[in-house]
């Protein structure tokens, strides 16, 4: 029988113990889906990471909405193992820049990044100078919660943390681009200094640092080409 499931979800036993609701889904025509998909692809294909931001202010409400969008991401056991920490305080941004550049100097100038790594970065022209960390109106740091700490002092494991947080990061970036803002995925290595500066607990680990703002007028980005579909997608038609 079509769409017959031998083991339907949720089972009656499960539903008797935990709350469930009917998923309200509007099924679109294939033409409408194709139109949406093409429009969204075109919009996201125009997205670029920028390294020069305008200092023009950005309302906090927009940052909060991007975080709320990111928090719709699926996560292992629905643990939602992420914390977004945002600041627009000039002194804190300055402290973050100084600490990041100290680590990046070691990476770039003292060979903590090997030759192959630096060769891969050469077309981007990146170096240890991270002025954008002060100029961008917001810095948002995404922390992964390795485990959760409950009010009674006990700890509980989180599952598929990096996969979950990575998915949330993608939605955060997408949301920012959709609303007309720009960002950069900045990962100075190591990033433990962010725990100290932002006063984060031991169970959290920095995942990505996002400077957020408007692109500087006339900003240039590398003229990079994305991989063709046949390089990143395949189908399996036979067992």
Q: Is 45 a domain residue?
A: no
Largest CA distance in the chain: 66
Residue 81's domain comprises 53-218
> How many residues appear in the chain?
239
Residue 29 forms part of a structural domain:
no
In a domain, 154, yes or no: yes
Residue 103: which CATH number? 3.40.109.10
- Give pLDDT tens digits for 165-186: 999 999 999 999 999 999 999 9
Please name every residue paired with 84 in a beta bridge, in sequence order, or none if there are none. 142
State the Cα–Cα distance between residues 94 and 209, nearest whole angstrom.
Answer: 14
Phi, psi values for residue 73, rounded to 5°: -60, 145
User: Does some domain include residue 131?
Assistant: yes
Name 40's Cβ contacts closer than 8 Å, sequence gap at least 6. Answer: none
For the chain, what is the domain count? Answer: 1
192 assigned to some structural domain: yes
Cα separation, 182 vs 165, in Å, equals 20
Strands 204-213 and 155-157: unpaired
Mean pLDDT of the region 84-111: 93
Cα separation, 224 vs 114, in Å, equals 23
| Average confidence score pLDDT of the chain | 95
Q: 210: closest CA among 41, 62, 45, 78?
A: 62
Residues 18-40: what's their mean pLDDT? 97
pLDDT-derived band at 1, boundaries 50, 70, 90: low
Q: Which segment of 5-19, 101-115, 129-143 scores lowest on mean pLDDT?
A: 101-115
In this predicted structure, which of 15-19, 33-37, 84-88, 152-156 has the lowest mean pLDDT? 152-156
With a threshold of 0.85, does the pTM exceed it? yes
pLDDT value at 33 more than 90: yes
Note whether 183 and 176 are within 8 A (CB): yes
For residue range 191-201, list pLDDT tens digits in order.
999 999 999 99
């Amino acid at each position: 029988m079509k769409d017959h499931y031998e083991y339907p979800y949720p089972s009656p036993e499960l539903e008797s113990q935990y709350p469930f609701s009917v998923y309200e889904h509007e099924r679109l025509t294939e033409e409408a889906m194709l139109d949406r998909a093409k429009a969204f692809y075109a919009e996201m294909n125009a997205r670029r990471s920028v390294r020069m931001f305008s200092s023009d202010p950005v309302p906090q409400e927009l940052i909060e909405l991007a975080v709320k969008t990111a928090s719709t991401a699926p996560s292992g056991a629905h643990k939602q193992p992420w914390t977004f920490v945002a600041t627009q305080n000039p002194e804190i941004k300055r402290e973050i820049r100084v600490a990041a550049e100290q680590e990046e100097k070691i990476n770039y100038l003292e060979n903590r990044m090997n030759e192959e790594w630096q060769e891969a970065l050469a077309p981007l022209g990146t170096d240890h100078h991270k002025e954008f960390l002060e100029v961008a109106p917001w810095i948002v740091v995404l922390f992964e919660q390795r485990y959760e700490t409950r009010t009674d002092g006990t700890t509980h494991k989180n599952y598929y943390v990096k996969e979950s947080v990575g998915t949330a990061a993608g939605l955060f970036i997408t949301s920012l681009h959709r609303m007309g803002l720009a960002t950069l995925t900045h990962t100075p290595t190591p990033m433990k200094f962010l725990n100290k500066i932002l006063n984060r607990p031991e169970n959290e680990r920095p995942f990505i640092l996002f400077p957020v703002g408007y692109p500087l007028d006339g900003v240039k980005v590398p003229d990079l080409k994305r991989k063709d579909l046949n390089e990143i997608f395949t189908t399996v038609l036979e067992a």
